[in-house]
């Protein structure tokens, strides 16, 4: 048996642990033969160089230690060949639509198997797995808040907690290059600009204290709108030499403003309250999520070793978890459809349903 064949076998072993350990033991060059997608190396990800942002004053003072450490890239996060990427997951941690689906598709079915061993994840928290056939070595799964209507203090705190818990997990695992998508701004409907401001503020505050732990932090946006938002806001949170002339007085005056977004009141209002268009989009996304989960349930794993995998005990456990993922997905769909006409009392009972779903996903399954 050739060494190449043996290595392929280990990489495609039925056990997620074996595959994970094997892939993580390889050099970057050797891992490349297993990628399912093209890759972008860290050296090819441009470093963000702040330029002046019109009349907007920076919200944070300049920190030279963060020079060369921040990137903004528009594209598919699954292609980044870095230490870890963050997944905007759901509480079941078993894959869904959007970036979650893209990550699971590119990583292969060992990812869902490892995820199934984690017993879900609460909103605002993060859990780490291997990256499997992704160019990224690890995936940090975080669960963003689902926003119904206006953003509340709890939503803001949860979104910040997502970024912070992902950063903390990265430090604990010696991850030096990390990319995040725009968490919660897809199906979960967090207004984009507000989400960007929370993300930027949380990352900035964390990196101020832990800059030595990271070589690069990458904001990975997918849509043009988000790219524009980040281009506009990045210089306010990571000012360069030309934008960093901020005195102490201004720092404290702006401290109060840190949590506000750069958008105008009008823009905020428009984004804050769910518009008809958005409702439509959420319905679409929720049903896409549901379809995706159902497809996963009916087709099973999409990997090469599908047949053996379906008969393994690992997979029996996975199927049970997928059931839970589907329940959560269906609930999200029902809530989205119902939301259009519901009263405050209805909304409260919907929140109870969501919390109940959260409990279900966290109940450890029997072996």
Enter the DSSP assignment of 83: S
**What residues contact residue 237 under an 8 Å CB cut-off, 6+ apart?**
58, 59, 60, 200, 201, 203, 204
Closest by CA position to 98, among listed 22, 37, 183: 183
- On the CB side of 98, how many CA atoms lie within 13 Å of its CA? 27
Nearer to ligand ADP, 58 or 181 (CB): 181
Enter the DSSP assignment of 344: H
User: Exposed, middle or buried: residue 154 (CB in 10 Å: 0-12, 13-18, 19+)?
Assistant: exposed
CB of 136 to ligand ADP, least distance (A): 12
Is residue 183 within 8 A of residue 199, CB to CB? The reply is yes
Nearer to ligand ADP, 62 or 292 (CB): 292
Nearer to ligand ADP, 222 or 339 (CB): 222
CB of 162 to ligand ADP, least distance (A): 9
Nearer to ligand ADP, 99 or 112 (CB): 99
CB of 222 to ligand ADP, least distance (A): 3
CB of 236 to ligand ADP, least distance (A): 20
CB of 75 to ligand ADP, least distance (A): 7
Q: What is the rounded distance in angstroms from the CA atom of residue 13 to the CA atom of residue 339?
A: 45
Nearer to ligand ADP, 183 or 197 (CB): 183
Residues at the site binding ligand ADP, with contacts judged by CB under 6 A: 76-78, 88, 98-100, 102, 144, 181-188, 220, 222-223, 226
Q: What is the rounded distance in angstroms from the CA atom of residue 293 to the CA atom of residue 333?
A: 12
Look up residue 74 and give its two tokens.
């528009």
CB of 226 to ligand ADP, least distance (A): 6
Nearer to ligand ADP, 100 or 328 (CB): 100
Nearer to ligand ADP, 191 or 235 (CB): 191
CB of 191 to ligand ADP, least distance (A): 11
Nearer to ligand ADP, 11 or 85 (CB): 85
CB of 220 to ligand ADP, least distance (A): 5
Q: What is the rounded distance in angstroms from the CA atom of residue 162 to the CA atom of residue 184?
A: 10
**DSSP string covering 65-77, please?**
GGTT-EEEEES-G
- Classified as helix, coil or strand, 122 is coil
Q: Is the dihedral of CA 296, 297, 298, 304 positive or negative?
A: positive
């Amino acid at each position: 048996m050739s060494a190449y064949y043996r290595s392929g076998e280990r990489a495609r072993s039925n056990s997620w642990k074996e595959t994970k350990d094997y892939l993580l033991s390889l050099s970057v060059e050797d891992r490349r033969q297993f990628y399912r997608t093209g890759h972008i190396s860290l050296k090819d990800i441009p470093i963000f160089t702040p330029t002046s942002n019109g009349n907007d004053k920076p919200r944070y003072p300049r920190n030279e230690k963060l020079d060369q450490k921040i990137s903004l890239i528009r594209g598919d996060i699954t292609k980044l060949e870095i230490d870890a990427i963050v997944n905007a997951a759901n509480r079941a941690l078993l894959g869904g639509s959007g970036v979650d689906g893209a990550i699971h598709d590119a990583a292969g079915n060992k990812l869902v198997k490892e995820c199934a061993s984690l017993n879900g994840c609460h909103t605002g928290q993060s859990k780490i797995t291997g990256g499997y056939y992704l160019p990224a070595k690890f995936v940090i799964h975080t669960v963003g808040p689902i926003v119904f209507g206006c953003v509340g203090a709890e939503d803001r705190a949860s979104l910040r907690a997502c970024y912070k818990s992902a950063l903390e997990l990265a430090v604990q695992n010696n991850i030096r290059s990390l990319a995040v998508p725009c968490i919660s701004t897809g199906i979960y409907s967090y207004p984009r600009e507000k989400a960007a401001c929370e993300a930027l503020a949380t990352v900035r505050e964390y990196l101020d204290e832990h800059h030595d732990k990271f070589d690069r932090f990458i904001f990975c946006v997918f849509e043009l709108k988000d790219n524009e938002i980040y281009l506009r806001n990045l210089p306010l949170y990571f000012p360069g030499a030309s934008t960093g002339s901020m005195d102490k007085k201004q720092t404290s005056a702006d401290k109060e403003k840190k949590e506000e977004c750069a958008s105008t009141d009008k823009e905020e209002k428009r984004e804050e309250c769910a518009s008809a268009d958005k409702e439509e989009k959420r319905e679409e996304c929720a049903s896409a999520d549901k379809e995706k989960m159902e497809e996963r349930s009916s087709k099973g794993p999409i990997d090469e070793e599908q047949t053996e995998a379906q008969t393994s005990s690992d997979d029996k456990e996975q199927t049970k978890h997928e059931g839970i993922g589907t329940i959560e997905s269906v609930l999200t769909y029902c809530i989205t459809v119902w939301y259009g006409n519901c009263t405050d009392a209805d909304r409260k009972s919907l929140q109870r349903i969501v919390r109940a779903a959260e409990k279900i996903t966290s109940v450890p399954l029997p072996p």
